Amino acid sequence: MTAVVTVSRRIAASAERLFDAWLDPKSLAVWMRRDGSAPSGAVADRRVGGAFAITMNDPGGSFVHAGNYTVIDRPHRLEFTWRSIATHQLDSLVRVTFTPDGDATVVEVRHERLPDAEAVERHTEGWTEIIDRYARTLAGNGDAHAAR
């Protein structure tokens, strides 16, 4: 089985600002944070073919989300592979699109090639939380690189 998760939010910010914040490791370290976990060692090579890695430290241990950027089309879309425990260390595909909508932007995350129902459930919950924190983080500060 391969499956897809799609999550979207309308965020009151420009596509350029949202796109840049998505790729900024310091900003990412703020909005990727979950209750009881903290990202560390966020690294992002912002080139097509470049890699990223985010180490998440949870009470139960540490794990890494990693991947490579396959498309970087500022400020319209990003595509990257995604490898984590939740995808059984298989390379799934994530597409993030930034669509202007008046004075805001619709950010859509589409995660494809998920291996099973458990991964779909975990990533639906995870991406929903991430996009909500991303929106709250950027709404709370006028600087695209708020975490600097």
Span 61-102, pLDDT tens digits:
777 888 999 999 999 999 999 888 777 888 899 999 999 999
Buried b vs exposed e over 17-56: b needs ≥16 C-beta within 10 Å? bbbbbbbbbebbbbbbbeeeeebeebebeeeeebebebeb
Query: 3-class SS at 131?
Result: helix
State residue 126 phi and psi, 5-degree precision: -65, -50
CA end-to-end span of the chain, whole Å? 41
Q: Would the pLDDT of 141 be above 80? A: no
